[in-house]
Amino acid sequence: MSLSDELAVRLRERESRGLLRRLRALEDVGPVVREGGRTFLNFSSNDYLGLASDPVLRTRLDEVGIVGASASRLIVGHLEEHERTEEALATFVGLPRALLFSSGYAANVGAIPALVGPGDLVLSDAWNHASLIDGCRLSRAHVEIYPHANVDALETLLRAHRGSARHALVVTDAIFSMDGDLAPLRALADLARRHDAWLYVDEAHSVGVRGPAGAGLCMELGVKPDVLLGTLGKAFGVAGAFVAGAPELREWLVNVARSFVFATGFPVALLPVIRAAVAAVAAADDRRNQLARHADRLRQALRELGLDVPGEAAIVPVVLGSNERALAVAGGLRDLGILGLAIRPPTVPPGTARLRLTPMATHTAAQVESVIEALRSFG
């Protein structure tokens, strides 16, 4: 059988289980988007503050007159623009130094294996993002998965395995991307300190949205992790990610993190845009408050409809169970001009397919109500 024929069989089998995904080409970004000539309310974006189409950010694209970095940063791809941007990011999250990566995925699969390896122990939350999971696997350290947000179970694992490990790393998301709930960061930090472990916190869905001036959940809770990851393609509306921490952390990653060492430097044209986004996020308390109001209204109303809506963040999941039901409801919303896409395994556990609704600060209250009314109409 040819490769094409084999893949066709696999695709049909995937479709029969309600797991086939297809790319959709949108004409724009924002609270309202167009696809194939139709207009849709967009409730599936991670552009929480609505900055991806902000005109102030767009004006910064031509500021440096350079597009690409031309080489890896350890050769000739490191520019003063990179230094300025990383200083701004470190200052924003209240840590000494930061290092840019091409994406949150690249940062996690580069940083975790750079910090731990064979003979070390990694303790990872069961609901961590795929990039954290893959980073843990690539490290070749001994990995223990603790039940989601269960501090007691984590302590039991630390007591059982910490003594035989050279180093230990506790890895967690700050806000979990599919359930919208918060990690018990204070308890995790205390536990890591008592067991001589390092704390690695992925703030992909919290930096820009939570904390003073949007500095993240760690800052909000007074937690200082050993490693903090933030992404720039969500609340910041741009692209890329950064890892922040001590000066020694940055220097070590520059030397050892393979997804940094062997990658062309971050595109220079985007660096002034990132700095403008940092300033915009820091000044966006009104947008953060609006986002919180939208999410609270949506979550409360959907719970009153009897729907299973966990979490407490700007992510509002509606757990529907089967893949078929999630696809049917998402299709019904689409017919009504609303993009609320179905999330299915392996992104979420089997039997927990859902809509993942994400309001934006730039939605109106009336647009939020229209989603509530649409779901109410389905009975």
Residues of the chain with pLDDT under 50: none
* DSSP-assigned beta bridge partners for residue 357: 316
pLDDT score, position 369: 97
> Is 226 found in the same domain as 191?
yes
CB 205 within 8 A of CB 70: no
Q: Give CA–CA dist 14/11, Å, rounded.
A: 5
Of the candidates 226, 258, 282, which is a domain's last residue? Answer: 282
pLDDT tens, residue by residue, 11-70:
999 999 989 999 989 998 999 999 989 999 999 999 999 999 999 999 998 888 899 999
> Is 168 found in the same domain as 291?
no
CB 336 within 8 A of CB 41: no
Residue tagged 């997804």 (tokens): 259
> Is 330 found in the same domain as 275?
no
> Is 157 found in the same domain as 182?
yes
pLDDT tens, residue by residue, 259-280:
999 999 999 999 999 999 999 9
Q: Give CA–CA dist 337/77, Å, rounded.
A: 45
Domain limits at 349?
Answer: 20-49+284-377
Walk across the sheet containing 32-35 and list its strands.
Answer: 32-35, 38-42, 338-339
Residue tagged 């979420």 (tokens): 348
Q: Domain for residue 10, yes or no? A: no
Q: Give CA–CA dist 186/323, Å, rounded.
A: 36
Number of neighbours of residue 293 by Cβ within 10 angstroms:
14
Q: Domain for residue 302, yes or no? A: yes
Q: Domain for residue 8, yes or no? A: no
Number of structural domains (the chain) is 2
Of the candidates 263, 282, 301, which is a domain's last residue? Answer: 282
Q: Which residues contact 234 (CB under 8 A, 6 or more apart)?
A: 46, 47, 48, 204, 205, 208
Q: Domain for residue 13, yes or no? A: no
Q: Domain for residue 6, yes or no? A: no
Backbone angles phi, psi at 40, to 5 degrees: -135, 145
pLDDT score, position 219: 98
- CATH no. for residue 68? 3.40.640.10
pLDDT score, position 292: 97
> Is 341 found in the same domain as 212?
no
pTM of this prediction? 0.95
> Is 97 found in the same domain as 28?
no
Going by their DSSP bridges, the two strands 38-42 and 32-35 should be labelled as: antiparallel
> Is 120 found in the same domain as 147?
yes
Q: Give CA–CA dist 29/338, Å, rounded.
A: 14
Of the candidates 282, 313, 333, which is a domain's last residue? Answer: 282
**DSSP codes, 1-40:** --HHHHHHHHHHHHHHTT--------S--SSEEEETTEEE
Q: Which residues contact 290 (CB under 8 A, 6 or more apart)?
A: 361
pLDDT score, position 62: 85
Q: Domain for residue 131, yes or no? A: yes
Three-state SS at 356: strand
pLDDT score, position 65: 86
> Is 246 found in the same domain as 153?
yes
Q: Domain for residue 247, yes or no? A: yes
